[in-house]
Chain A
């Protein structure tokens, strides 16, 4: 790439990049130590762990039932539809329901904190 750059024409581009990287790395360390970030991390990890365990847990329970206790899933509900088919349909709809919850939770509880941290990161670079 040719390098007629915006401002610092005297420093060679490679050195400038290295300086930039070192500088930014320290910004990340500082941000990570901050209170906002600690709150964001706790919140997001707690939420992600709960959601993932629920999602995969529901699947694991269904699979376990199907493999080792099929009698329960074979019970008829209406016509030819049995419990197993309803449970499977529920599983298939589950991610869609989760996505609604996820979008809402993330935009209310996570995004504002993330945006604040991102702003202070960008502020520190100017």
Chain B
């Protein structure tokens, strides 16, 4: 097992490309649509959207299938509403996009704060669950095992991003996409072969394995201990939150134009659809084969349907292969997250907080590299501290935060003329505050065995998923904030609208002669930094 870990580590290192300064964030925006499509897929498939989605089907049957449908649909929303305007109006970060028509400093600071909080939640949740899961799979002893896994992932992520920048990260993600596909195809293949390639028989076996529950019909999540709207809230959050994941933003910006962004999302959709269809089969297969022998994984436990099934169907070799793929997945996802978080910190937060002037290019990349190291260390520490606790609240917090505090200002700023800085700040800070407060008083934090504080009980909010309240709140606060303040800038909205729809003035791909090297001319600088010279 350790051997295959080493092999995959080497492969992921080979995927690393040469290192130049200027392409650290977006690899000169020169990736092709298929490459970016694969990389988007590789970034998207993290613990929650790959392993936990499989678990959802294995545990909740039909209602889990609805969760998967929500994940796929979120890409439809991204294709329609997010990818193209973002490519046309963005340079590197959320703050860059918003500041096309807003006051730079406050909006940048807000965007950076929200993004970094989201980043922290995502990374901690990923690291903790990966640490537990991999240690369990590799039979590492309990306190040391997860610790080692988390530190290994953190270290390798730093190395990938530090040396490879966006280019290295992207190739790791592409490799990861291919490996993930290999795992699902092998698992689903063996599974179907056992059931004579008859899907109906597989489903029947799954239903027979749990005679008490009707897993092929809706109801396991709807009818459970809480109100059906809790699950509706979960689905809504999934559709809207995954459509606007902040660390996918930077991926839309690694291609030459909006047309390429559109095509790469389309590629991702075509990859994700068969992947999830196979994952549904795997989920039902896990129910059919495993329930009888072991308990299936539950929320917050360190087991997962996909690796359990791998061990059951292919023994140690297949389990080792799956473990290594999960390991590379973690590195790919963490590298993508860290790159975009570093961009956020160096471009949006550092100039507004630490210094008044933005950095020049060389020192910005230097700061970005240091940020990567610091973030990864902080993240690893955080994950180690949370190792013994339930992290369900983080999973519920992160996507909800995205949907209720990042999606509203983005959509408003592209499509609503009246929108202004006050509205942007209200929807970002307000949406985030509502989400955090609601999650804090929800059953994920207190009042139950799977909560962060199982002994205390201050769960005043009845549902585990708060999106159904916090997402409208984010939009509403953006609206109220806007109409409370009279300022409105039609000139800047003209720029935003024309740019979003046509790409006029959007940051172009760098022509080969400009790539690398110092920013020597005004033209180079403009090409590299987008049109607007920052405040």
Interface residues of A (CB under 8 A from B): 1-6, 13-14, 16-18, 20-21, 24-26, 28-29, 31-32, 37, 40-41, 44-45, 48, 51-52, 55-56, 59, 62-63, 65-68, 70, 73-74, 78-82, 84-85, 88-89, 91-96, 98-100, 102-103, 106-107, 111, 113-115, 117-118, 121-122
A28 contacts B69, CB within 8 Å? no
Which residues on B sit within 8 Å (CB–CB) of A4?
520-521
- Cross-chain contact B62 with A96 (CB below 8 angstroms): no
Contacts of A98 on B, CB cut-off 8 Å? 76, 79-80
Which A residue's beta carbon lies closest to that of B88?
A114
Q: A25-B491, A66-B222 are in contact. Are A48 and B81 (CB under 8 A)?
A: yes
Residues 345-377 of chain B, each 1 if its beta carbon lies under 8 Å from chain A, else 0? 000000000000000110000000000000000
* Interface residue from A2, A20, A56 paired with B77 (Cβ < 8 Å): A56
By a CB distance below 8 angstroms, the chain B residues around A121 are 498, 502, 504-505
Partner of B525 from the list A1, A25, A73 (CB cut-off 8 Å) is: A1
CA A6 – CA B73 in complex, angstroms?
48
A30 to chain B, nearest CB (A): 9
Contact between chains at A73 and B80 (CB < 8 Å): no
CB 8 Å contact bits of B247-289 with A (1 = contact, 0 = none): 0000000000001001101100110010011000000000000
Q: A25-B491, A95-B73, A122-B504 are in contact. Are A79 and B204 (CB under 8 A)?
A: yes
Considering the complex, which residues of chain B in the window 501-535 have a beta carbon less than 8 Å from any beta carbon of chain A? 501-505, 518-523, 525, 531-533
B79 touches A111 (CB 8 A): no
From A1, A67, A74, A92, contact of B217 by CB (8 A): A74
Question: Which B residues lie within 8 Å of A118 (CB)?
Answer: 502-504
**Which secondary structure dominates chain A's binding surface?**
helix
Kindly state the separation between the CA atoms of A78 and B498 in the bound complex, as whole angstroms: 52
Task: Indicate whether A66 sits within 8 Å of B498 (C-beta atoms), given known contacts A31-B504, A98-B79, A102-B262.
Answer: no
Q: Is the interface of B mostly helix, strand, loop or mixed?
A: helix
B interface list, Cβ under 8 A from A: 62-63, 65-66, 68-70, 72-73, 75-77, 79-81, 198-201, 203-204, 207, 214, 216-219, 222, 228, 231-232, 235, 239, 259, 262-263, 265-266, 269-270, 273, 276-277, 360-361, 415, 490-492, 494-495, 497-499, 501-505, 518-523, 525, 531-533
CA distance A102 to B203 in the complex (A): 34
Contact of A103 with B266 in the complex, beta carbons under 8 Å: yes
Chain B residues within 8 Å of A91, by CB: 69, 72-73
Q: Across the interface, which residues of B come within 8 angstroms of A79, CB to CB?
A: 198, 200-201, 203-204
Contact of B522 among A6, A56, A89 (CB under 8 A): A6
